[in-house]
C-alpha cells in the first residue's frame, strides 16, 4: 500500500454541495484510507469520526465524488469497490497478489483515427485496468 505521493490527492466536493460534518467524515475517511476500498470499509471508518452516519449518506457522498472524478468505481473487481483518483487522465495497475491499486499516467489506447477508420466508432473516453504483480509483491 505504500506509494510515495508528493501532494495528497485532492478529494473535493462539487461546488454547489453543502459542507456537512457527515460529508467531511466520508471525505476524510477516503483521504486517510487506502487507495482502493469497499463501501462497507469506508462506512466503518467514517463512522469512527461520525458515529451516527447513515449508510445512505455514504452512497450519496460517493455519488457526488464520482461526478467530480475524485473517485472511480473499480471495474472488473468484486463489486462495491472504489478507487481514490488523482486528477487527470490515468489508469490503474491492480496487483493480483495483494490487491493494491496504483495509478499510472501511461496510456496507449487505440487512436481516435484508427477506431473511426476501422469501426466507424467515435470514442469519448476509455477505461484501462492492468492486472499483474506490483513491485513489493515481486520482491517478496
Partner DNA sequence: ACTGATACTGATAATCACTCTCAGTTACGG
Partner DNA sequence: CCGTAACTGAGAGTGATTATCAGTATCAGT
Tell me which residues touch DNA (CB under 7 A). 16-23, 38-40, 50, 52-57, 59-61, 63, 79-80
Q: Compute CA distances 135 → 1, 2, 29, 76, 108, whole Å.
A: 11, 11, 26, 21, 21
Q: How far apart are CA 102 and CA 132, in angstroms?
A: 11
Q: How far apart are CA 122 and CA 137, in angstroms?
A: 39
Tell me how far, at minimum, the Cβ of 71 lies from a copy of itself, in Å: 14
Could you tell which of a copy of itself, DNA, none binds residue 98, using a CB distance below 5 to 8 A set by kind?
none
Contact between 55 and a copy of itself per CB under 8 A: no
Tell me how far, at minimum, the Cβ of 71 lies from DNA, in Å: 12
Nearer to DNA, 12 or 136 (CB): 12
Amino acid at each position: 500500500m505504500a506509494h510515495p505521493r508528493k501532494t495528497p490527492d485532492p478529494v473535493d466536493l462539487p461546488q454547489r454541495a453543502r459542507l456537512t460534518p457527515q460529508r467531511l467524515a466520508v471525505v476524510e475517511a477516503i483521504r486517510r484510507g487506502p487507495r482502493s476500498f469497499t463501501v462497507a470499509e469506508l462506512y466503518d471508518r467514517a463512522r469512527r469520526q461520525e458515529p451516527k452516519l447513515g449508510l445512505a449518506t455514504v452512497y450519496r457522498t460517493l455519488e457526488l465524488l464520482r461526478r467530480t472524478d475524485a473517485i472511480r468505481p473499480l471495474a472488473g473487481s468484486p463489486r462495491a469497490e472504489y478507487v481514490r483518483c488523482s486528477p487527470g487522465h490515468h489508469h490503474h495497475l491492480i496487483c493480483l497478489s495483494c490487491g493494491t491499486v496504483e495509478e499510472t499516467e501511461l496510456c496507449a489506447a487505440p487512436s481516435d483515427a484508427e477506431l473511426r477508420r476501422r469501426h466507424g466508432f467515435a470514442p469519448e473516453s476509455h477505461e484501462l485496468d492492468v492486472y499483474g504483480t506490483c513491485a513489493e509483491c515481486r520482491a517478496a
